[in-house]
Amino acid sequence: MSLIFKPKINFSFEASKRSNVKVKTVHRELNPWSTKELKQLVELKALGLSYATIAPILKRSVNNCGTTMSTRKLVPVYKKRRMEMIEEVMGDDYITERKNG
């Protein structure tokens, strides 16, 4: 009996080199957002709808809606629009209370 370890699987440093595997890339069709769609996205979000509800309406994915709001920096725009809508409903009393409070 020997104390030297002899692996049963042959290891070669050649195995760690790159292989000639061909990578298939699939080009996706680009569907850029129009100005009208961006306005609709902001308005629907200001109404309080979730991205899951907005996505089928605009025929986009949920992730695409959220990413677009973030990358195009539309979050402050929709929050401002939401406050405008609240002020329209509540009237002048709400505006003065909000400024004083």
| Residues 49-79: tens digit of each pLDDT | 999 999 999 999 999 999 999 999 999 999 9
Rounded CA gap, 69 and 77, in Å?
A: 9
Percent of the chain with pLDDT over 70: 78
Q: Is the pLDDT of residue 25 over 70?
A: yes
- Distances from the Cα of 93 to the Cα of 79, 83, 101, angstroms: 20, 14, 12
Token digits of residue 83: 């406050």
The DSSP letter of residue 1 is: -
Q: Which residues contact 79 (CB under 8 A, 6 or more apart)?
A: 46
Residue 92: the pLDDT is 73
Are the CB atoms for 69 and 75 separated by under 8 Å?
A: yes
Percent of the chain with pLDDT over 90: 50
At 51, give phi and psi (nearest 5°). Answer: -65, -30
Q: Which residues contact 38 (CB under 8 A, 6 or more apart)?
A: 68, 72, 74
> For 3-12, what is the mean pLDDT?
70
Rounded CA gap, 39 and 74, in Å?
A: 10
